[in-house]
Structure 1
């Protein structure tokens, strides 16, 4: 995969994430620190999100990052991805 900058990660995460939150979610209301679980993300959605990110970025989340905390905000997802796509 081409080198991906941190700035490019957030839009890609949002593109995969927002459809999983449902049509009633206002995309403008989902900021980097918004609690995604309160915004409507559930365990099935988090698995779909993880799979979509792995496919998009050609990475695999290690077991240590498969936590509710990792997928709790866009900012935390971007931070996890940043470490994975650069390694």
Structure 2
């Protein structure tokens, strides 16, 4: 899940630093995550993982770092990302 989150961050969040230089606990806001980047990230995460993030979960703390995203989203993500499932289906 963390690898997928890192990919989504790199593609959508427009951070000031490369995602690969961040640890799982580095503050994403300090790395340049903006309010627009947060919305882009949220929408991309919902799309990639095939989930809808409930409103009560959408907080500053959720998007604080990769670890907070992972722990907050893990209960919603019960299977592999939608993109991976689509690729697997296409191979059959």
Q: TM-score scaled by structure 1?
A: 0.81
Matched with 1:30 is: 22
Measured in 1, the distance between the counterparts of 2:77 and 2:60 equals 20
Matched with 1:64 is: 56
2:75 to 68, 74, 83: 83
Question: Could you say which structure has the larger radius of gyration?
Answer: 2
Unaligned runs of at least 5 residues, structure 1: 1-8
Matched with 1:43 is: 35
2:14 to 6, 18, 21: 21
Cα RMSD over matched residues? 1.7
User: Which range is displaced more, 24-33 or 71-80?
Assistant: 24-33
Matched with 2:81 is: none
Unaligned runs of at least 5 residues, structure 2: 79-92
- Give the paired residue count: 78
Q: Which has the higher contact order (CA 8 A, sep 6+)?
A: 1
